Amino acid sequence: MSTVTDNDLRELKDLINDKFNELRLNQEKIMTRLEDWKPSIDKISDLSEKVGESKAEGKLGLIAITALISSILSGSLTSLIFIFVKNKP
């Protein structure tokens, strides 16, 4: 091989090695960022679970209030109907 070809190959090799080193550094930076974000990412599932629980509790409360109101109205209407039927001549 000629000297020019050897030099060109060496330059290409150095360039490839430099790019791989740059990629490794970037990968390390990304991994560091992910490790920094990991606690926040882990909290997301806990927060979504708590939101789901509070929504379920809210729905249960709404059902209980609706049942209470409907039973009061039902009892009142039954009493009124009974009074009207009883007082009819």
> Which residues lie closer than 8 Å to 9 by C-beta, 6 or more apart?
1
Residue with tokens 């990968």: 27
Amino acid making up residue 69: I
pTM of the full structure: 0.45
Over residues 57-71, the pLDDT tens digits come to: 778 888 888 888 888
pLDDT digits (tens, 9 = 90+) for 9-55: 999 999 999 999 999 999 999 999 989 888 887 888 787 788 777 77
Burial class, 83, CB count within 10 angstroms (exposed 0-12 / middle 13-18 / buried 19+): exposed
Helices (H), the chain: 3-86
C-alpha span between 56 and 26 (Å, rounded): 44
